[in-house]
């Protein structure tokens, strides 16, 4: 299975947080699964850190790639196809970062690993 991590899921994995469900842990740990972190999540973390809403122990440009590499998570760039898909999504979710993750998941055939129940309203597979 190809999994796209929601931003919170990435952070919970990185710091082994109890908020991470047992199923999410198992899916992440399964070596048969390919796991991705989107540039959209990197943008979200950098923005929120800069606004003081996401305290991090180091600057995002150093921390995120280090954590991603440490946990064997692959980067996923935001491409034109996924970006242009946004206008076709109904505005069911107000978070623009989550909506772009949905677009990327649809375009690349990924399942989103997220605790957010609103994402399941979109035509994308979600796991938690």
Predicted pLDDT of residue 91: 81
Instruction: Outline where DSSP puts E strands in 54-94.
Output: 74-76
Q: Which domains does the chain have, with CATH numbers?
A: 2-127 (3.40.50.1010)
Check if the beta carbon of residue 113 is closer than 8 Å to that of residue 9: yes
Predicted pLDDT of residue 94: 83
Profile the chain (128 residues) by mean pLDDT over runs of 10 residues.
Answer: 98 97 98 98 98 97 98 97 91 90 97 96 96
Predicted pLDDT of residue 87: 87
Beta-bridge partners for 54? none
């Amino acid at each position: 299975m190809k999994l796209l991590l929601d931003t919170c899921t990435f952070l919970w994995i990185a710091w082994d947080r109890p908020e991470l469900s047992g199923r999410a842990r198992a899916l992440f740990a399964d070596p048969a699964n390919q796991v991705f972190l989107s540039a959209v999540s990197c943008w979200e973390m950098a923005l929120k850190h800069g606004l003081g809403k996401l305290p991090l122990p180091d600057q995002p440009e150093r921390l995120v790639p280090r954590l991603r590499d440490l946990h064997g998570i692959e980067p996923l760039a935001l491409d034109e196809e996924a970006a242009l898909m946004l206008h076709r999504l109904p505005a069911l979710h107000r978070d623009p970062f989550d909506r772009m993750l949905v677009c990327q998941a649809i375009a690349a055939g990924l399942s989103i690993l997220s605790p957010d129940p609103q994402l399941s309203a979109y035509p994308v597979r979600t796991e938690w």
